[in-house]
C-alpha cells in the first residue's frame, strides 16, 4: 500500500457539496492499495503511521506520534498514488489494486488505524471528492508498506 501523510491543523472532505468527513489536528492520509497488497499490509501500515513521530514535543522537536498527541486522522482513498509516469505524458494506473480489492484494503486500513486508538474519519471510495486541509509545518511524508 502507498500512503501520503500530511500533518494538518484541520482537514475536510466533501462529496456533492456535503461534508462527509473531517478531522482536527492530526493527519490527512491519502491511501492507495496496490496490486498484490494484503490485509496484513494495511494493518502494518496503520501500525507504522500511528507510531510515526512527526509531531512536535515541548522542545519543538518532531518526537511525538499522532497517538501521543491525541490527534485525529482523515483517511481518503486515492488510486492516483499508483501513477506510472515513466512513459509518455499520460499516467498509467495499472499497478493499483482492482476497485473491489482496493476498497476492502482502504476500509481495512482505516479500521486498523481506528482500532489502534486514532479517531478516524473517511472519504467515500470511488467518489469525486473535494478535499481541503491546512498543512501544519508543512510536514508531508510518502510511505509504502
Q: How far apart are CA 20 and CA 70, in angstroms?
A: 21
The string of DSSP codes covering 46-66 is HHHHHH---EE-TTS-EEE-T
The pair phi, psi for residue 70, each rounded to 5°, is 55, 35
Residues carrying an active site annotation = 78-80
Q: Give the closest residue to 28 by CA, choosing from 78, 83, 72.
A: 72
Q: Which residue has the cell 506520534?
A: 65
Q: Give the closest residue to 50 by CA, choosing from 135, 140, 112.
A: 112
Amino acid at each position: 500500500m502507498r500512503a501520503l501523510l500530511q500533518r494538518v491543523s484541520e482537514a475536510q472532505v466533501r462529496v456533492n457539496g456535503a461534508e462527509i468527513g473531517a478531522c482536527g489536528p492530526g493527519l490527512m492520509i491519502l491511501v492507495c492499495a496496490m496490486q498484490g497488497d494484503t490485509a496484513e499490509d494495511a494493518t502494518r501500515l496503520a501500525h507504522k503511521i500511528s507510531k510515526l513521530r512527526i509531531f512536535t514535543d515541548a522542545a519543538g522537536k518532531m518526537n511525538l506520534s499522532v497517538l501521543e498527541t491525541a490527534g485525529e486522522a482523515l483517511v481518503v482513498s486515492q488510486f492516483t498514488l499508483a501513477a506510472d509516469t515513466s512513459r509518455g505524458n499520460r499516467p498509467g494506473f495499472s499497478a493499483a489494486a482492482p476497485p473491489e480489492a482496493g476498497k476492502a484494503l482502504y476500509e481495512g486500513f482505516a479500521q486498523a488505524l481506528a482500532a489502534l486508538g486514532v479517531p478516524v474519519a473517511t472519504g467515500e471510495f470511488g467518489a469525486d471528492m473535494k478535499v481541503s486541509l491546512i498543512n501544519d509545518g508543512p510536514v508531508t511524508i510518502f510511505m509504502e508498506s
